């Protein structure tokens, strides 16, 4: 009988300690999240090594001011590896001044003029900043936007959120 009382008192105590530990862990992460939330999407992306090609493309397309704007924006951000997977010479060609409008159209296809957090994702069509619709699908834990897999979510910025994708997505042909 004494063991039952001890167990019944011990279980809530363990739960309290575990919960307090989780809250404290969340509190430790809060300053980093709050610091990121003071920086706009361009600043957050510029600080990530894996977005150097994306940032160069945003600059070449003249979209820095746009993505530093009030928003909110959701950016489906391709990694450097995603850009590297494009046919050889594609990135270099797109970065040329004469291809600025084409590059801009591709990049704006990665931007949704709304804040969509991972918790809000459901199968849906989303209107991109470029005017075309992209398709979000969900299969279990796998979330895709068109042919790109979302590999990391909810990188918070002051004017929106970034979700990392493994493929550069292309707007539908006009």
Identify whether residues 65 and 100 lie together within a single domain: yes
At residue 111, φ and ψ (nearest 5 deg) are -120, 130
pLDDT tens for 25-69 read 444 444 445 555 789 999 999 999 999 999 999 999 999 999 999
Same domain, 15 and 93: no
Domain count, the chain: 2
Cα–Cα distance measured from residue 81 to residue 43, given in angstroms and rounded to the nearest whole number: 20
pLDDT of 43: 95
Answer yes or no: do 88 and 14 share one domain. Answer: no
**Do 51 and 72 sit in the same domain of this protein?**
yes
> Do both 92 and 144 map to the same domain?
yes
174 within a domain of the structure (yes/no): no
Q: Are residues 64 and 107 in the same domain?
A: yes
* 77, 158: one domain: yes
State the alpha helices, DSSP H only, in 52-114.
52-60, 64-67, 80-84, 90-94, 100-108
If we measure between CA atoms, which residue out of 166, 135, 170 comes closest to residue 153?
166
Where in the sequence is the domain holding 32, given as residue range(s)? 1-36
The reply to whether 122 and 84 lie within a common domain is: yes
Residues 6+ apart with CB under 8 A from 170: 106, 109, 146
Q: What is the CATH number of the domain that holds 51?
A: 2.30.180.10
Q: pLDDT, tens digit, for every residue of 117-163? A: 999 999 999 999 999 999 999 999 899 999 999 999 999 999 999 99
Residues 85 and 108 in one domain: yes
Q: Give all strands (DSSP E) within 14-128, no chain letters.
A: 73-78, 111-112, 124-127
20 and 48 belong to one structural domain: no
Determine the Cα–Cα distance for residues 99 and 51; give it in Å rounded to an integer: 20
Short-list 4, 5, 33, 11, CA closest to 117: 33
């Amino acid at each position: 009988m004494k063991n039952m009382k001890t167990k019944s008192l011990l279980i809530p105590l363990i739960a309290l300690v575990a919960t307090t530990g989780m809250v404290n862990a969340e509190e430790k992460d809060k300053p980093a999240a709050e610091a990121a939330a003071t920086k706009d999407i361009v600043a957050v992306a510029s600080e990530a090594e894996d977005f150097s090609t994306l940032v160069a493309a945003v600059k070449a397309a003249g979209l820095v001011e746009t993505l530093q704007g009030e928003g909110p924006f959701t950016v489906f951000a391709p990694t450097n590896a995603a850009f590297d997977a494009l046919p050889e010479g594609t990135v270099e060609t797109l970065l040329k001044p004469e291809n600025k409008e084409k590059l801009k159209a591709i990049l704006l296809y990665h931007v949704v003029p709304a804040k969509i957090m991972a918790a809000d994702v459901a199968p849906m069509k989303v209107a991109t900043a470029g005017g075309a619709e992209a398709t979000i699908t969900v299969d279990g834990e796998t979330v895709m936007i068109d042919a790109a897999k979302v590999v990391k979510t909810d990188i918070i910025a002051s004017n929106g959120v970034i979700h990392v994708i493994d493929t550069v997505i292309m707007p539908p042909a006009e």
